Amino acid sequence: MLLLLIACVLTLVTCGTAVGADAVAVPRHRGHEWVRSHPFTLMGIVRMTPKPFDHHQYRDAGFNALLAWEEGTFDELLPAKARAGMPFHVNLSGWGNELTNREDSNEQTLRQAIRQLDSEENRAYLQGLLKNPGCIGFLVNDEPVRNTYLRYTRQVIKWLRQQHPEAIVYSNAHPEGYDGELDRYLDEFAAIVDPDVLMIDFYPLSHPDGTAYNYFKILTAVRRTALEQGMPYWIIIQSFETHAGMDRRLPSESDLRFQMFAPLTYGYTGIVYFTYDIAFERGLIEPTGTPTSAYHAAVQANREVLNVGTVMRSLTSTDVRYLAGRHEEQGVLKTHPLPRDTKAWQPGAGGDSSILDVAVETTAEGCDGLLGYFRDDDGHRYFMLTNLWHNGGANASDRTATFSVRFHPSIEQLIRVDRMTGVSETVRLDQGHVTIRIPGGTGDLFQYVVLQK
């Protein structure tokens, strides 16, 4: 549901660009149509470890779909998901790998792979998956980089659209791009593969604390490419712990929220957990199947993300700005530096003149904010204010921050999506000013409203 607003509907009109020349056109990309006609996508990657898989426990975590990851588990997992009424996506990994993803792959081996794609064997395999009701999406060839593999993945996606036109079909981009050259890689990935949604995975939480220096660079690059290509964009987040090969911590409650609400503020319209179960040492569950602390954090966070995401999936991101906070050091307040590939907020950012001033009132190291601007198809304007303060081991309440926002006199009140209920509520201003307290890693979505004269 969009921001359909209780008693305000009788007397209020949204502030900002009226419907007309500046209104945002209804997106026609296949991916946008799918995203808008389905619930906000929030799912976990399931490898079905341990067995048997506890379907009730998975649903109780707040997910509304599932990404089945390991081919060897499909015969058991997919019928059970169908019986449980849980929509699912299927990971088709390694298709064309032998012919198109090797150093000696070339035009000849690519053409050979494409000729073999529409085979009786592949058709039978797909039909075997589709006999289980509830299959709504396919992920094809995780993290492809080689040019021939990208081009083959495009052919698989086109073939799947023909075989199952109601499903969303996509691949997953590699976060390192071409040996660290991310922008060109994403441009070519989106143009060559032509997925229904541009998706990337990134796991930014090291052990015991900290966030990857290039986290916002990744978010920014995907957003920019997807908007240029006119497609929606999703992200796979870190929900695991490992100390083998790479050092990653199990996300705290504030960590987990940060990884979901920051992308929402950038306009991402789908979130996937890597993983729900076991990929490394633990995920949302232990190897025994016992829920971890991250599972308990996800139960409430997922509910809030779905409530906000219901509105977000029909909005278009127009700008994102960073709100640098301050902390005291030897009696002096020091402003935090901007992370890589972020822009500081300033009046008029995003073509929005309604916010005259915004500040992070809480002073603490790591306490910063993010402001995302959006429009709907009718040109009505929204903004999302997110508290980026998070730490390993810190609950969301431990990292609650206060923000103050001052608005143009034309703005007399706001409408906010209540994260807990999904119901829209009126937020009244005090002489154009509002103070907002937001838990760590969490964001609130608002729409501007003025009284009709």
How far is the C-alpha of 361 from the C-alpha of 71, rounded, in Å? 50
Task: Report whether the peptide linkage leading into residue 208 is cis, meaning its omega lies within 30 degrees of zero.
Answer: yes
Residues 269/232, Cβ–Cβ less than 8 Å: yes
Entry field: residues in the chain: 453
Indicate the CATH number of 30-312 among 3.40.630.30, 3.40.366.10, 3.50.50.60, 3.20.20.80.
3.20.20.80
What is the value of pTM for the model shown? 0.93
- What residue segments make up the domains of the chain, in order of their start? 7-23+316-451, 30-312
Specify the fold of 7-23+316-451.
Immunoglobulin-like (2.60.40)
Cα–Cα distances in Å, from 413 out to 2, 59, 205, 331, 421? 18, 37, 37, 37, 20
Kindly report, residue by residue over 124-150, the tens digit of the pLDDT: 999 999 999 999 999 999 999 999 999
Hey, how many other C-beta atoms are within 10 angstroms of the C-beta on 277? 25
Beta strands in 2-55 (DSSP E): 12-14, 41-46
Kindly report, residue by residue over 415-452, the tens digit of the pLDDT: 999 999 999 999 999 999 999 999 999 999 999 986 65
What pLDDT sits at residue 223?
98
What pLDDT sits at residue 10?
31
5-14, 30-39, 172-181: range with lowest mean pLDDT: 5-14
- Fold match between domain 7-23+316-451 and domain 30-312: no
How far is the C-alpha of 392 from the C-alpha of 211, rounded, in Å? 10
CA atoms within 13 A on the CB side of 293: 14
Residues 372/320, Cβ–Cβ less than 8 Å: yes
Hey, how many other C-beta atoms are within 10 angstroms of the C-beta on 160? 24
Residues 404/362, Cβ–Cβ less than 8 Å: no
Work out the average pLDDT over 95-117.
98
Work out the average pLDDT over 25-49.
89
Kindly report, residue by residue over 242-292, the tens digit of the pLDDT: 998 889 999 999 999 999 999 999 999 999 999 999 999 999 999 999 999
What pLDDT sits at residue 200?
98
For residue 65, is pLDDT > 60? yes
**Mean pLDDT of the residues in the chain:** 93
